[in-house]
Structure 1
Amino acid sequence: MDYPIYLDYNATTPCHPEVLEAMLPWFSQNFGNAASKSHAYGWVAEDAVERAREQIARLIGAKTKEIIFTSGATESLNLAIRGTFEHYSNERQHYITCKTEHKAVLDNFQKLESLGAEVTYLDVDSQGTIDLDELKRQIKPDTKMICLMWANNETGHLHPVSEIAEIAEEAGIIFCTDAVQAAGKVPVHTQGIHLMAMSAHKMYGPKGVGALYIRHNHELPKPLPIMLGGGHEKGFRSGTLNVPGIVGFGKAAKIRLREMVKEGERLRVLRDKLEIELLKITGTYLNGSRENRLPHVSNIAFEGVEGEELLKQLNRKIAVSSGSACTSISPKPSHVLSAMGLPADLGRSSVRFSLGTNTSEQEIQSALDWVREVVRGGFSPGS
């Protein structure tokens, strides 16, 4: 198949060749169940899982025992949020999150509201920034958790995680962060953070495996398990471990620790070239701030064009999206851009460009040429 130029790395990333190579033996000769404690097949698999756990912990500055493997970030966030709710089941509960969070967070909190919890959804300004003073004002005696993402999946905006962690620490409440788009892209840490969700396929690892960092040796409680059946992963997540995927996740984390800073600077240069040239097109606007964001993401609004047709035409030669892959089937404007105050028509005609390790200068130039052709007359609304 003649694939288009791929500029949708926030949706998923290709497995790094070293990751694929590391995984292959664990599908065949090293096929043991990591929970088989009585023979060598299980011991070898368990050792591989623990090496990967150490590699992932090193990426975020955690202790090895603080990494719990899951099937992906959505499961990690379910465990973090709903597991916390279960712990406090006999108490009044209040949670604080933000209107621009990923649906894996927002849908969980809507479920908690249906079960009796109170949830505050913080507003953002036109840049996607929360008001930290407003965050402080919303904290109540029964607030159990602040849940705010590290980096926004649609705009790349970075929340002030260290400041949020200090606020949570001072108030004595849990701070949970969705670090899916940040871990492996920019340096992250665990200071003041109690729960952190990650996903392998966002950092050149395999799909179907993720992790939840759970802070150890702290007075605030850990989430209760939401999956039962064997007590795997220190009782937090039962189920046979995906050994090949976990090995790949660990290898990807090791590679990202080695490459992410240099690679981030390279992508920043390419992203800026793309963005500067796109914004020369009449009726284009940058969604969000030029500063304080991931180095490889640009979200551009195209005024005066029909959004669905724009995306259809662009995707003939470049693979881009209008927002989260998890909401791409919806014709509604992005909830992130709506929360930032963008009118619905501009929200529908906004495109997220996200670059990655295989993105070249030639690809950026070819993408620019095609966007110009499409927007400047390559189609008309309804064509």
Structure 2
Amino acid sequence: MIYLDNSATTKPHPSVLRSYNQVSESFFANPSSIHQLGAEAEKLLQKAKEQVAQIFHVAKDEIIFTSGGTEGNNMAIKGIALQHRQRGKHIITSQIEHPSVYDACQSLEAMGYDITYLPVDCNGVVSANDVSNAIREDTILISIMHVNNEIGSIQPVQEIGELAKKHPKLSFHVDHVQGLGKVPLQLSNSGIDLCTMSGHKIHGLKGTGILYIANRSKLFPLFHGGSQERSIRSGTENLAGAVAIVKAIRMIDEREKQDKGALLALRNYAMQRIAELDNVVINTSKLAAPHIINFSVIGLKPEVLIHALGEKEIFISTKSACSSKLSDESRVLAALGFDSERTISGLRVSMSYDTTKEELNTFIIELEKAIKQLKKVVG
């Protein structure tokens, strides 16, 4: 099997699974319980927060454990929008955000909020100047992703963070789900107020995530109940999941430091080989993140190619896994200004640090065969 859909989800690492099982068996008590078992669970929860806070150089009480990227993005965007609605209802985002950001903004738009969807250039990058020009007196939030999930474009979030510092009344949220462990991001003293992460993109488990919330930020909670997680996310904590995502973050942090460009070299090699195939155009810039390649095979439906490769036990994808079953056209590729032939035929290869050159060579050989065979069928 050759698995090249790591941006949709990754295979959980055995040590992450072991951590989850050990905590589930030995620390099953509710961290809110006042007896000794509850106290032990609470102590482990705080230790997990301390460990991840040290990695990101932030305070441990700025870490909130969530169920993943979608919840984290909704908590951040709607939490800020509801908390600060009396001051303003203007939000700035981009045209290429993940559905959990884009759709959250559209839901607020239906409630009377004013959303500015900034365009991107031909490489899928937002202009920091456009962000600056869009800021108004009633702007309460900027939400710009770090790495795009379809094409891998890297947004100038550090530059936008510096802009945000000049406007202390607004908040800056970054969706870091695709960048985590692949493209470094500084949180401390960055101007970033909120940052979303997900466990299952880094060989952790589905249903685990983190939302960094700077202490200066105030959110209206989407959940009310037992006042867990600074009253921002009430509900009994998923202690085993929290320990598991911290384990995954520690491991991916080490892999990122050890990699030193190997993943990027592998991606550049694959991009060059894929670009040589007939009827194929590359949609990903060479300046993009090191693990994503988006390309279009003109004249062929992406799902047909995906199924053909799947029969060879080679697995790739189209668009975001969260939107791949919806409209044929990629909203992200359309935002780059590509024609419809290109926007409806986009395919995504997403690698991990475990991907090998041999796997990519086999994939490209089988891709070329599949394209030739399917072209004969469609004439």
**Is 2:107 the counterpart of 1:111?**
yes
- Are positions 1:96 and 2:92 aligned together? yes
- Structure 1: distance between partners of 2:259 and 2:44: 27
Report how many residues are paired.
Answer: 375
Structure-2 residue corresponding to 1:314? 309
**Using a 3 Å threshold, how does the CA distance of structure 1 residues 207 and 264 change in structure 2: closer, same or farther?**
farther
Quick one: structure 1 residues 211 and 377, their matched pair in 2 at CA, closer, same or farther if it must change by over 3 Å?
A: same
Q: Are the equivalent residues in 2 in contact too, given 1:264–1:296 (CA < 8 A)? A: no
Spell out, residue by residue over 1:195-249, the C-alpha distance to the aligned partner (whole angstroms, 9 max, x if none): 0011111111111011110111x3xx41111100110001110011111111100
Cα distance per residue 1:260-304 (max 9 Å; x no partner): 13336222222222111111112222213111x211111111123
What pairs up with 1:179-194 in 2 under 5 angstroms? 179-190=176-187, 191-194=190-193
Residue 12 (structure 2) pairs with residue 15 (structure 1): yes
- How far off its partner does 1:117 sit? 0.8
SS for the counterpart of 2:85 is coil
Say if 2:213 is the partner of 1:214. yes
Q: Which residue of the partner structure matches residue 195 of structure 2?
A: 196
Mapped to 2, the partners of 1:264 and 1:118 lie a distance apart of 42
- Say whether residues 1:84 and 2:80 are aligned partners: yes
1:295-314 correspondence runs (5 A): 295-314=290-309
Equivalence map 1:168-183=2 (5 Å): 168-172=164-168, 173-183=170-180
Matches of 1:327 and 1:77 in 2, distance apart?
16
Match 1:242 to one of 238, 244, 250:
238
The letter of the residue matching 1:280 is E
Deviation of 1:67 after TM superposition, in Å, equals 0.3
In 2: Cα distance, 1:67 partner to 1:380 partner? 54
* Equivalent residues in 2 for 1:213-362, closer than 5 Å: 213-216=212-215, 218=216, 221-263=217-259, 265-291=261-287, 293-317=288-312, 318-362=314-358
1:27 aligns with 2:7: no
Measured after TM superposition, the shift of residue 382 of structure 1 is 5.4
Say whether 1:166 aligns with 2:166: no
In structure 2, C-alpha distance between the alignment counterparts of 1:363 and 1:288, rounded to whole Å: 20
SS of residue in 2 equivalent to 1:247: helix
Q: Is the contact made by 1:77 and 1:197 (CA closer than 8 Å) also made in structure 2?
A: yes
- The whole-number CA distance in structure 2 between the counterparts of 1:84 and 1:31 is 33
The corresponding residue for 1:47 is 43
Deviations 1:18-54 (A, max 9, x none): 2112121122232111121x22221222222222212
Q: Is the Cα–Cα contact under 8 Å of residues 297 and 345 in structure 2 kept in the other structure? A: yes
Query: What is the Cα-based RMSD across aligned positions, in Å?
Result: 1.6
Worse-superposed segment, 121-130 or 183-192: 183-192
Who is 1:149 aligned against? Answer: 145
Where 2:166 maps in the other structure, the secondary structure is: helix
Range with greater deviation from structure 2 (232-241 or 131-140): 131-140
CA distance in structure 1 between the aligned counterparts of 2:174 and 2:333, rounded to whole angstroms: 20
Amino acid at match of 2:352: G
Deviates more, 1:94-103 or 1:279-288: 279-288
| Separation in 2, partners of 1:157, 1:11 | 16
Matched AA of 2:331 = H
> Whole-Å Cα distance in 2 between the matches of residues 50 and 183 of structure 1?
22
Contact 2:309 2:367 survives alignment (8 Å): yes
State how far apart, in whole Å, the 1-side matches of 2:377 and 2:115 are: 40
Structure 2 counterpart of 1:132: 128
Unpaired segments ≥5 residues, structure 1: none
Is the 8 Å Cα contact of residues 285 and 301 (structure 1) preserved in structure 2? yes
TM-score (norm 2): 0.95
SS of the residue aligned with 1:326?
coil
Structure 2 stretches of 5 or more lacking a match?
none
Q: Equivalent residue for 1:371?
A: 367
Q: Deviations over 1:101-140 (max 9, x none)?
A: 0010011111111111100000011110112222211111
1:143–1:366 CA distance, 2 compared to 1 (3 A): same
The Cα shift of 1:163 comes to 0.5
| More divergent stretch after superposition (130-139 vs 162-171) | 130-139
Query: 1:377, CA displacement in angstroms?
Result: 2.6
2:25 and 2:152 mapped to 1: Cα distance? 39
The answer as to whether partners of 1:60 and 1:183 remain within 8 angstroms in 2 is no
Distance 1:264 1:367, change over 3 A: farther
Identity of aligned residues (%): 35
Q: TM-score, normalised by structure 1?
A: 0.94
Equivalent position of 2:69 in the other structure: 73
